[in-house]
Structure 1
Amino acid sequence: MDLHDFKDVAENYDRYLEVMYTTEFDKHENFQEFYLDLAKRYGQGGTVDIACGTGAVLLYLAERGIEVDGTDLSEEMCKVASAKAEKMGLVLNIYPADMTKFSSGRKYSLAIIARSGFMHLPSSELQIAALKNIREQLLPGGILTFNTFDPYPEVQSFQMKNTPESYMKRLEYINVNGNREEIYNAICYDIVTQHMYGNWKFVEYNDKGEVIGERVRPLLMRQTYRSEVFLLAKLCGFEVVDIYRGYNGDKEDLNDPKSAQKYDGNLIWILKRKEDLA
Structure 2
Amino acid sequence: MTAASSWVLSLSCPDRPGIVHAVTGVLAEHDGNITESQQFGDPDTGLFFMRVEFASAAPLAELEAAVAGIAGRFEMTWNLDVAGRRMRTIVMVSKTAHCVNDLLFRERAKTLPVDIVGVVGNHETLRELAEFYGKPFHHIPVTADTKAEAEAALLALVEELDAELVVLARYMQILSPELSDALRGRIINIHHSFLPSFKGARPYFQAHDRGVKLIGATAHYVTSDLDEGPIIEQDVERVDHTFTPEALTAIGADVERRALARAVRWHAEHRVLLDGHRTIVFK
TM-score bracket, shorter-length normalisation: 0.3 to 0.5
Bigger radius of gyration, 1 or 2? 2
TM-score by length of 1: 0.33
TM-score by length of 2: 0.33
